[in-house]
Structure 1
Amino acid sequence: MSRKFLTVAMATALVAGSFTPAVAHAFSSGSSASSAIMEDPNAPGTRNNPHTLGTTVRDGGWEVTINEVDLSADHRVLEANMFNSPAPEGHVYVLVNATLKYVGKSSEGDSTFWSTINFVTHDGVTVTESDHHAVAPDALNSLTTLYTGGKVTGNVVFAVPKENLTQGTIVVQPDLWSKKFFYKVS
């Protein structure tokens, strides 16, 4: 970790009033800034205690809702686009339907580009939509700018290992600087 980053992070923590002896120890021991301020691992929305489908989370200028998860979406994905290939052997297509709503106040709006939705397997491996390219039916528009009150709803597709599929979670990060929120898959 660079000295410049540490200085900026320590100053930010000091101004925000969160510079405690634990934070100082984390910085001096080389830990990352994000691990310096610990969160209860069993709090609602964490990987140990994921939200149920339909729960809306809010962080920064965004609200995100995971509406539905289809754990056996092979047929829907293959029908969505003639160029979609079957999921790799031992995998299945999973569709995640989500709504992103901009609730920030910027007159210039904000881009959905910075919002991420991923699948985390039971053994802790993150699966992204770019791991295996397929076009989702009614795909989520992740390249638009929304203004206060604007929202988009659509699907994100993942090729996920079949093993222990129902023990996985969905992880959402509303924007680049947001915390992560976890959801049950069913």
Structure 2
Amino acid sequence: MQDTEDWALAFRARDGDTDAFARLVRRYQRPVVHFCARMTGSLEDAEEVAQEVFLGLHRSLPTLEPRARLSTLLFGIARNLSLNCIRNGKRRGRDRMVSLDAAPVDYAGGVTPDRHAEASELGGLLEAALLRLPEDQREVLLLREYEHMDYGAIAETVGCPVGTVRSRLARARESLRRELEAWDHGS
């Protein structure tokens, strides 16, 4: 079980094992950066916030208790620091959203340049639509769809009841559906 291993690494890190902490960082750095980038709209801000997340984890090692999954704790820290970044107006990347899912295109494999352009446009529209969602809806959608957290873990991460998570998620999905339908009818 990964959670048991995560906590074992955290306790070893607390005891001074720098390699154990480095393994935790390697394991969670990419998902934390992706989450923060989608929250803040800026890869540059996300990388900075992710550094703060792991610094916060390191500082909290002496008092850390395994009350929840370590990933839930990390994404909770990432959520709070991302929201602080947004609220403090520190966002550098407001006018540009970086797609973290871009992959090389193999036109010989049947993807035409026109189809690739349409997919890129749709991806950009989706990223922009995510940024227009209210923060409380965006965070639950990202945690569910991109980080594959269950409702209980999301509720614990954002500090609200499971029913609230479900309703925020439903509203977020409905908003995205409306935006994508409007795009589809306009193209």
More strand by share: 1
Relative contact order, higher structure (CA 8 A, sep 6+): 1
TM over 0.5: no
TM-score band (shorter)? Answer: under 0.3
